[in-house]
Amino acid sequence: MSGATLDPAELRRQRKARRAGEAGGNGVPARREESAPEQVVAQGRPQPMIRPDDLPEVVDAPDAVGPLTEDERERWELCQRSFAQYQQAWWVAARALDIALRGRLWRADYETAAAFIGGVAGMSTSNAYRQIAGAEVAALLASPASIEHESNDLSRMRDSAGAGLRISQRAAEALGPIREDYGPELAADAYRAVAEVTGRDTVSQRLITGVVQQLPRREDEDLDQGVLLGRVRALAAGEAERAADAAAGDPVQALREYVAVARRFASDTRGLSRAYQRAAAVNPRRAQQLAERLHGHMERATGNFPDA
C-alpha cells in the first residue's frame, strides 16, 4: 500500500477500478485492502480535509432499504469524514447531514434517522434541519461574490472577489426569514451587505437578528432585490451605531433601545388585522380572547410611554 494519503478524487478512481475488476472487466478482481480508506485511518495517517466540492450531489432515496451499494458506501464514508470535521466547518457537516438524510445512507449503521442525527451530531431533528437550511447560505458565502452590490470602486471589487465570508451557525439561522421569503442567494447577499456596511468579515448573530427583525415578511410587503438590500444596509448602519453608542456608555442608549423595540414591534404587527380575521373565521371565541389579551398588552405599553 502506498504511503500517500488518499484524497477523495483518488478514492473514487480506485473504487471505480475495483468495481470494474469485480465485474470481470480485466479478469482479476481488485484487492479491496489496497484502497480501503479505513486502513489509512488505522495506520494513523491524517485524512485530507473534505472540501465542499468533494461532497457528492444530494440523491433522494425515500424508499432505499437493505445494504448500501458500492456507490452509497462511498458517499456514506465521505459524509462520515465530514461529520468528523464538524467543529471546523459546521456547514460542511450540515450539508453532509442533508446528503445522508435525503439518501437514507444512515441505514448502514442506524435504525432510524433520529438515532443517526443524535448519534452523529448530538442534536434534535428540528435543529438538524435548521442547520441544513443555514448551511446553504454558508456555502454561498464561502465562495467569493461575483457582483459587488454597493460600490463600483475597483479596489473594493478586487478585495471582495479575493475571498468568501464566514458565518456562524446562529447567524445563518437568524437569516431564516430572508431565506424563506426570497431564497438562499438573497439571504447571502444580505449578509454580505451587512458585512460591508460594518466593515466586518464575520457578522454576529445579534446584529443579523437586529436587522432581520425590522424587515417586513414577504407576504406583507414584497420587496425587489435592490430595495431589500438597501433597507438591510440602512438597518445595519443603525444597529452598528447603537452598538457603538452602548460601548461608549452613551446615556441615551437605553432610550434608543426602547425605540428600537417599538420599531420592531410596529414592523411585526403588519398583517395583525388579517391574522385576527382568519382566526375569527375558524374559532371566533378563541380569536376574541386573544384580541382582548392583545389589548391588555397594548394598554400596559401605552402606560409606560414617556410624557413628552
In this prediction, residue 28 carries a pLDDT of 42
pLDDT for res 187? 95
The verdict on 142 and 257 lying in the same domain is yes
Q: Is 269 domain-assigned?
A: no
Same domain, 247 and 207: yes
Q: Is the domain of 250 the same as that of 144?
A: yes
Q: Is residue 78 part of a domain?
A: no
Q: What's residue 154's pLDDT?
A: 31
Same domain, 250 and 281: no
Residues 253 and 298 in one domain: no
CA proximity to 75, closest of 94, 91, 92, 54: 54
- Domain extent for 290: 276-308
Q: Are residues 223 and 298 in the same domain?
A: no
Please tell me whether residues 148 and 209 are part of one structural domain: yes
Among candidate residues 268, 235, 238, the one with its CA nearest the CA of residue 253: 238
Return the number of other C-beta atoms located less than 10 Å from residue 300's C-beta. Answer: 9
Classify residue 16: in a domain, yes or no.
yes
283 and 169 in one domain?
no
Low-confidence ranges of the chain (pLDDT < 50): 1-5, 22, 25-45, 87, 146-162
Number of domains in the chain: 3
Question: Which pLDDT value is given to residue 301?
Answer: 77
Query: Do residues 145 and 245 share a domain?
Result: yes
Q: What is the pLDDT of residue 49?
A: 72
Assess if residue 79 is contained within a domain.
no
Show the cell assigned to 282.
Answer: 375558524
Residues 160 and 256 in one domain: yes
Q: Are residues 149 and 192 both part of a single domain?
A: yes
What b/e sequence results for 26-62 when a residue is b if at least 16 CB atoms lie within 10 Å of its CB, and e otherwise? eeeebeeeebbbeebeeeeeebeebeeebbbeeeeee
How much is the pLDDT for 60?
92
Residue owning grid cell 420599531: 263
Q: Is residue 239 part of a domain?
A: yes
150 burial class (0-12, 13-18, 19+ CB within 10 angstroms)? Answer: middle
Task: Report the pLDDT value the prediction gives residue 31, as an integer from 0 to 100.
Answer: 40
Q: How far is CA 93 from the centre of its chain?
A: 11
- What pLDDT, on a 0 to 100 scale, did the predictor assign at position 181? 94
pTM for the complete prediction?
A: 0.51
How many Å apart are CA 171 and CA 288, to the nearest integer? 37
For residues 256 and 281, membership in a common domain is answered with: no
